[in-house]
Amino acid sequence: MSVAIIAGRGALPAALVAAAPQRPFIAALDGFAPEGLVPDLTFRIERLYPFFAALHEAGVTGVCFAGAVQRPRLDPALFDPLTAGIVPRLMASLAQGDDATLREVIALFEEDGFTIIGASGLAPSLVPEAAFYAGEAMLRDRQDAARAALIAEALGRVDVGQGCVVQQGLCLATETLAGTDAMLATVAGLPAALRPDAARGRGLLYKAPKPLQDRRIDLPALGPATVAAVAGSGLGGIAWEAGGVICLDLPAMRAAAREAGIFLWARAPGDYA
């Protein structure tokens, strides 16, 4: 199968290219160029069907979505007739939130004959299975992770975010549109009076996919910068749902976590021990 990465901003597209068995075709949404890659093709949503035709002409049969994008502003003057015909579908999905929009995008690609491949299918090494990759979690950490998993599930069911920060059972912050970095900056800026005594548990960042999302697209991601931000926020570690979160550079994450004295835990779903 000849695979194209539909790339957005950030380091994930390049990480997938490095981990893939052979170089994929790179297609980037206009205005959202990936880091460290030169796209083979740049496209616009207003000309989606000509883009599909270009992928077919390049021999592409499967696509993998990777990288961050925001909802682009559409220029009515650029629509081709076929793409103009699906505008009502796109607008209806946009009104229902990110998950509905992603499902609609997947459906459009599949209807045109493309197979959707998740990041875990293209590069399984980027999606770690259950294990401790640095440090150890104490009982308080395990309790916080269990509490955080419930909170993240509730957030995901209403299509809000994919993570939260919990310390000693208290939710210090939740992930919203601004993303993980903004959430951790909020935690770092909390007044001391609002933070529990760290001697009883330093707290953790927890990340997981939304319960109803299609896991072939938009998996949450962690990287060395996340480790640094967690340490800078005074937290004790990072826990995430095993098999459901992308780690962009796990060796570098492990080294940074050991240096900072925090744990990295790919937690099995339902682990409440």
pLDDT tens for residues 233-257? 999 999 999 999 999 999 999 999 9
Buried b (16+ CB within 10 A) or exposed e, 196-209: eeeeebbbbbbbbb
Q: Is 272 within a domain?
A: no
Q: Quick one: 144 and 263 in the same domain?
A: yes
What does the alpha-carbon distance between residue 254 and residue 258 come to, in Å, rounded to a whole number?
6
What pTM was estimated for this model as a whole? 0.88
Residue at a domain's end among 79, 106, 122: 122
Residue at a domain's end among 71, 106, 122: 122
Instruction: Note the pLDDT tens digit of each residue in 143-200.
Output: 999 999 999 999 999 989 999 999 999 999 999 988 999 999 999 999 998 999 988 8
Q: Is 101 within a domain?
A: yes
Residue at a domain's end among 95, 122, 149: 122
Residue identified by tokens 């991601």 is 221
Q: The domain that contains 83 carries what CATH number? A: 3.40.50.20
Domain containing 222 equals 127-267
Q: Which residues contact 158 (CB under 8 A, 6 or more apart)?
A: none
Instruction: Note the pLDDT tens digit of each residue in 41-94.
Output: 999 999 999 999 999 999 999 999 999 887 778 888 999 999 999 988 888 887
Average pLDDT, the chain: 93
